Amino acid sequence: MNPVVDGILSVFLDLFRQPAIIVALISLVGLAVQRKSFSDVLKGTVRTLVGFLVLAAGAGVVVGSLGFFGEMFQHAFNVQGVVPNNEAIVGQVLLKYGSAAALIFFFGMIVNIALAALTRFKFIYLSGHVAFYIAAMIAVILGVAGFDTWAVVLWGSLAQGVYMTLSPALIQPFMRKVTGNDDVALGHTGGVGIALSGLVATVTRGKGNSKSTEDIKFPNGLGFLRDTTVIVALSMAVIYVIVGLFAGAPYIEDKLSDGQNFLVFLLMQAATFSAGVFIILAGVRVVLAEIIPAFKGISDRLVKNAKPALDVPIVFPFAPNAVLIGFLSSFVGGIVGLVAMVFMGGAIIVPGVVAHFMTGAASGVIGNAAGGRRGAMLGAFANGLAITFLPLLLLPVLGEIGFANSTFSDADYGIVGLFLGWLSVGGGQIAVIAGILVSIVAMFVATFALRGRDRRRAAVAATDDAAESESISAK
């Protein structure tokens, strides 16, 4: 390829791998098509960009704190095995499949927009970083299946676009309960586990109204626990100290804290975790305030009734107590799954703390909306089991990448990966192509069926209105 063209393509792909830039561009386009003033367009675009960077910065703070916790946990309980970590596994994947992954990611976005415009699934997937990760996994599986590079990009882009369109749709019935409207969707590779949380919460809800995690009553003397920042910091301090005591002061001070007293280090990490959550919540509020009005322009002009599908922290402000409950419940599910694997023999999936926080917290919020406190705990626990066993099942279809000491962490990697991988094992390349095409056809069939249902309902409603009008006239 021409070096100049290659350089331009590299810059272009790098830009679109940045979720903050994607969301800011969406805001810019949305405001521009509404013919807002230059001042409003500039302000909305910059605030969206900065708000998303604030959100990402908070997530980085949380991930850094959880990194220490994960190392302590493995050392404390002498657990060795495959660690689900998207960043680690993608780093290995890109060495061999980097170009294919980048092209799948880019063309997959175009397919997502086209499917949103042509079908009833009106979701534009804006979580660019995790979309890139799943593009990398699709590139691996199609490469292992023996596809030529051009075919990996072609069929991978179609698979990516289908995934990006359907994943938010799976969670949207529960998102409506969380937000109270249909303005925003959730786009993340933990979607199946989060939707499973909502389903489990619904099934286990019981009779009557389940009490919300946000209605937890504290005695007057413990009124400080009503503050989310305080309760997160205190809860995490207890958890860090307990695990730290099992890990031992010498290990922490030699390997993690750079000589700092281990208790001081643990308490500071707990406070840092809480600070990260605080930053995330602030960023989410800014992004929501800007992206939803801007997205109306896209909805009105480009993709009718389109909804932005944003990263999991978007749900955190709706039930902050459920965030902590969901994380802990999901992590417990991961530990239960780990113990089960020890007895089963074979590979062991070590709980990925970051995955359990991000998807577990969202599962807690979704579970709380669908089934109250019980739903938050049981739903997030189910997510924890899902993101423990699905990565285990995924390992065999990843080829040599599956023998690495890390793997993809969230539930959607398991579902999409197993779908494509098992088709490849069972029927080869033809089965993979057929599976992707059948998925697209099914989306259009569902669209026509839903449109027919809506027309029938409209006709019945019109008939009822006419009959009511005649009845009133007769009287």
Per the prediction, the chain carries an average pLDDT of: 85
In a domain? residue 82: no
Convert the pLDDT of each residue in 102-126 to its tens digit.
788 888 988 998 999 999 999 999 8
In a domain? residue 257: no
In a domain? residue 391: yes
Cβ neighbours of 290 (radius 10 Å): 25
Residue found under tokens 């990925």: 352
How far apart CA 30 and CA 22 sit, in angstroms, is 12
Q: 293 or 434: which carries more pLDDT confidence? A: 434
H/E/C letters for each residue in the chain? Answer: CCHHHHHHHHHHHHHHCCHHHHHHHHHHHHHHHCCCCHHHHHHHHHHHHHHHHHHHHHHHHHHHHHHHHHHHHHHHCCCCCEEECHHHHHHHHHHHHHHHHHHHHHHHHHHHHHHHHHCCCCEEECCHHHHHHHHHHHHHHHHHCCCCHHHHHHHHHHHHHHHHHHHHHHHHHHHHHHHCCCCCEECCCCHHHHHHHHHHHHHCCCCCCCCCHHHCCCCHHHHHHHCHHHHHHHHHHHHHHHHHHHHCHHHHHHHHCCCCCHHHHHHHHHHHHHHHHHHHHHHHHHHHHHHHHHHHHHHHHCCCCCEEEECHHHHHHHCHHHHHHHHHHHHHHHHHHHHHHHHHCCCCECCCHHHHHHHHHHHHHHHHHHHHHHHHHHHHHHHHHHHHHHHHHHHHHHHHHHHCCEECCCHHHHHHHHHHHHHHHHHHHHHHHHHHHHHHHHHHHHHHHHHHHHHHHHHHHHHHHHHHHHHHHHC
**Res. 39: pLDDT tops 80:** yes
**Res. 475: pLDDT tops 60:** no
How far apart CA 285 and CA 145 sit, in angstroms, is 43
In a domain? residue 206: yes
- The count of domains in the chain is 1
In a domain? residue 250: no
Cβ neighbours of 458 (radius 10 Å): 10
Q: 298 or 257: which carries more pLDDT confidence? A: 257
In a domain? residue 97: yes
Of the candidates 99, 108, 141, the residue with the CA atom closest to the CA atom of residue 126: 108
In a domain? residue 300: no
How far apart CA 156 and CA 158 sit, in angstroms, is 5
Banded model confidence at residue 402, pLDDT cuts 50, 70, 90: low
Convert the pLDDT of each residue in 152-193 to its tens digit.
999 999 999 999 999 999 999 999 999 988 889 999 999 999
Which pLDDT belongs to residue 142? Answer: 93
Alpha carbon separation from 114 to 109, 167, 302, 441 (Å, rounded)? 9, 15, 10, 14
How far apart CA 64 and CA 324 sit, in angstroms, is 17
**Res. 401: pLDDT tops 70:** no
Largest interatomic CA distance in the chain: 90
In a domain? residue 240: no
Q: Evaluate whether 61 touches 329 at the Cβ level (below 8 Å).
A: no
Please report, as a single letter, which amino acid is at residue 451. R
The radius of gyration computed from the CA coordinates of the chain, to the nearest angstrom, equals 24
Q: 44 or 30: which carries more pLDDT confidence? A: 44
Which pLDDT belongs to residue 42? Answer: 92
Banded model confidence at residue 436, pLDDT cuts 50, 70, 90: very high
Convert the pLDDT of each residue in 258-316 to its tens digit.
899 999 999 999 999 889 888 888 887 887 788 777 776 776 677 888 888 988 989 99
Convert the pLDDT of each residue in 40-77 to its tens digit.
899 989 998 898 888 788 888 888 888 888 888 888 88
Residue found under tokens 């007057």: 220
Range of the domain at 429: 87-214+319-466
